[in-house]
Amino acid sequence: MSTWSNGSIRTQFRTIDGLSIRFAESDDRDDHALLLSPWPESLLAFEPTWARLAQEAHLVAIDLPGFGHSQRRDELLSPRAMGEFVIRIADAFGLAEPHVVGPDIGTSASLFAAASYPGRLRSIVVGSGGAAFPLELGGVLRDWVEAPDLDGYRSADPREVVAGALTDIERYALPDDVRQDYLSSYEGDRFVESMRYVRTYPTELPILRDLLPEIQTPVQIIAGARDPAVPPVNAEFLHGRLPRSKLDVIDAGHFTWEDGADEYAALVTRWWAGGYASAASAAAR
């Protein structure tokens, strides 16, 4: 088990639905927020925004099953199934109506959770995750999704694969201990097995597309203008179909939560401070 601490984020483990799940938690506040790890990183991706977000809400950051340092269960490696698990996480931590921040792979999982459990989530922040159908993906992500099978990836060094993906971080100086946490998250077969999640996009995203107009949970979408893996058309796709949504495209590549940390945190905290309520009331008019 990998734990980590830098004085503000201290990771721990707890068992949820029979799985060992790594999490970090901030001080209690009136509002609560569940933060879902992006891929191929871990919950430490929120380190640059943690102090700012923790001033506004009680944070519970999670390495989703099969990602980061949390235990995998193969049947959870799809957006719909992971959306169900997001609700189990909220239940386990006693979060009655949390905000959810789900960048990257958390985008589709969060939206499936909102579709399946109306009113359960106060609001959602998503982006940088595959959403459009037909698929609009680029770079190695498209290759990973479209490969006929995983055999060609099993002999690859997972640390090299993850390190290659992290080269798309443009401005943020990734601390060495955080980089090592990301690399160790996907050692052995963990990376190649985690690919199964995005490889369900061709079958799961059409289902999500049809559900989007029915989702009444307010959604803030944050996209990187120069994202090579998940072009902004994915964010526009969501914004055009979600009835209570707000879209912001920032000057960044894929890793908006790190490369654009200050703007990302500002957008999220403004959303929590009342932007989500404004989105809901505007849609109702």
The predicted pLDDT at position 22 comes to 98
Query: What are the helix (H) ranges across the chain?
Result: 47-54, 79-92, 106-116, 139-146, 151-154, 158-166, 176-185, 190-198, 201-211, 233-241, 256-259, 261-270, 276-284
Among candidate residues 238, 241, 45, the one with its CA nearest the CA of residue 125: 238
Chain position carrying tokens 């959604």: 219
Predicted structure pTM score: 0.96
Q: What is the mean pLDDT of residues 81-89?
A: 98
Is residue 248 over pLDDT 60? yes
Tell me how many degrees the CA angle 251-78-202 measures, rounded to the nearest 5: 75
Q: What is the mean pLDDT of residues 163-188?
A: 97
Contact present, 122 and 276 (Cβ < 8 Å): yes
Q: What is the mean pLDDT of residues 169-185?
A: 97
Is residue 233 over pLDDT 80? yes
